[in-house]
């Protein structure tokens, strides 16, 4: 059943990487339960970043979970992973089942409204598995998500539906940036989970 479904999932990038959009992978009746559970049971905190030497506190909230208390450094600040809880382990298994990959950590983002987004970046920190898979689950408000090629500037946009799974792998992070653009149209929160593999 899942193998059959996977055959229908195709790469949305034209070249230089693989991004598979699986659409909704969670039963409609369970999507809002997961959203509420994540809102309640995740240890959400405002993110800190150092940009041009200045400490910035983001409006969006983040959390970081993993197999071990991994330290994860990005935007020049270091975070330590919390141990998995039940809902995250359940979602990790679901993503692993769909993509056929394994993950040992998860970065979560809570965007309170369309005012909050994430600027152009690629996920290529030195501790992340090279060319590894990143599995991205979305809950709450539907938002546009964009890719931009680093040299050709070609753009690819899609809408990340509630309960959907997006997978980025191969050379995607080498050649493409991605972002969650802010939007005036969205007034409600969105939760995103990116399952990743940290290597030491």
Ligand X SMILES: O=C(O)CCC(=O)C(=O)O
- Chain residues that interact with ligand X, rule: CB under 6 A: 107, 109, 118, 123, 136, 145, 160, 178, 180, 192, 194
Among ligand X, Fe ion, none, the one that 180 touches (CB under a kind-dependent 5 to 8 A) is: ligand X
Among ligand X, Fe ion, none, the one that 107 touches (CB under a kind-dependent 5 to 8 A) is: ligand X
How far apart CA 55 and CA 51 sit, in angstroms, is 7
Instruction: Output the smallest distance, CB 31 to ligand X, in A.
Output: 16
Give the interface with Fe ion as residue ranges (CB under 5 A): 123
- 25/134 with CB nearer Fe ion: 134
Query: Residue 197: CB partners within 8 Å, gap ≥ 6?
Result: 101, 102, 103, 104, 105, 128, 129, 132, 133
Q: Which residue is nearest to ligand X (CB)?
A: 192
Instruction: Output the smallest distance, CB 74 to ligand X, in A.
Output: 9
3-class state of residue 67 by DSSP:
coil
Q: Which residue is nearest to Fe ion (CB)?
A: 123
- Among the listed residues 124, 123, 157, 162, the one whose alpha carbon sits nearest the alpha carbon of residue 142: 162
- 37/164 with CB nearer ligand X: 164
Instruction: Output the smallest distance, CB 116 to ligand X, in A.
Output: 10
Instruction: Output the smallest distance, CB 108 to ligand X, in A.
Output: 8
Classify residue 11 by its DSSP letter: B
Instruction: Output the smallest distance, CB 41 to ligand X, in A.
Output: 19
What is the chain's alpha carbon radius of gyration, rounded to the nearest angstrom?
A: 16
- 4/25 with CB nearer ligand X: 25
- 37/173 with CB nearer Fe ion: 173
Longest CA–CA span in the chain (Å) reads 51
Q: Kindly state the tokens that stand for 113.
A: 């409204």
Unique residue bearing structure tokens 């409204």: 113
- 38/107 with CB nearer ligand X: 107
CB contact burial 111-125 (16+ within 10 A = b; e otherwise): bebbebbbeeebbee
Tally Cβ neighbours within 10 Å of residue 146.
Answer: 15
């Amino acid at each position: 059943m899942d193998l059959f479904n996977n055959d229908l999932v195709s790469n949305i990038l034209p070249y230089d990487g693989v991004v598979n959009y699986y659409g909704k992978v969670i039963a409609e009746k369970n999507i809002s339960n997961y959203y509420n559970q994540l809102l309640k049971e995740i240890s959400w905190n405002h993110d800190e970043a150092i940009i041009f030497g200045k400490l910035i506190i983001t409006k969006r909230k983040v959390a970081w979970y993993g197999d071990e208390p991994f330290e994860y450094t990005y935007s020049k600040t270091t975070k330590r992973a919390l141990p998995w809880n039940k809902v995250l382990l359940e979602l990790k298994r679901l993503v692993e089942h769909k993509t056929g990959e394994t993950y040992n950590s998860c970065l979560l983002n809570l965007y309170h409204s369309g005012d909050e987004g994430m600027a152009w970046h690629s996920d290529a920190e030195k501790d992340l598995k090279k060319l590894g898979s990143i599995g991205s689950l979305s809950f709450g408000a539907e938002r546009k998500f964009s890719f931009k090629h680093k040299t050709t500037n070609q753009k690819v946009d899609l809408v990340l539906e509630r309960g959907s799974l997006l997978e980025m792998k191969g050379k995607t992070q080498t050649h493409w940036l991605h972002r969650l653009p802010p939007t005036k149209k969205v007034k409600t929160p969105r939760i995103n989970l990116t399952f990743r593999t940290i290597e030491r």
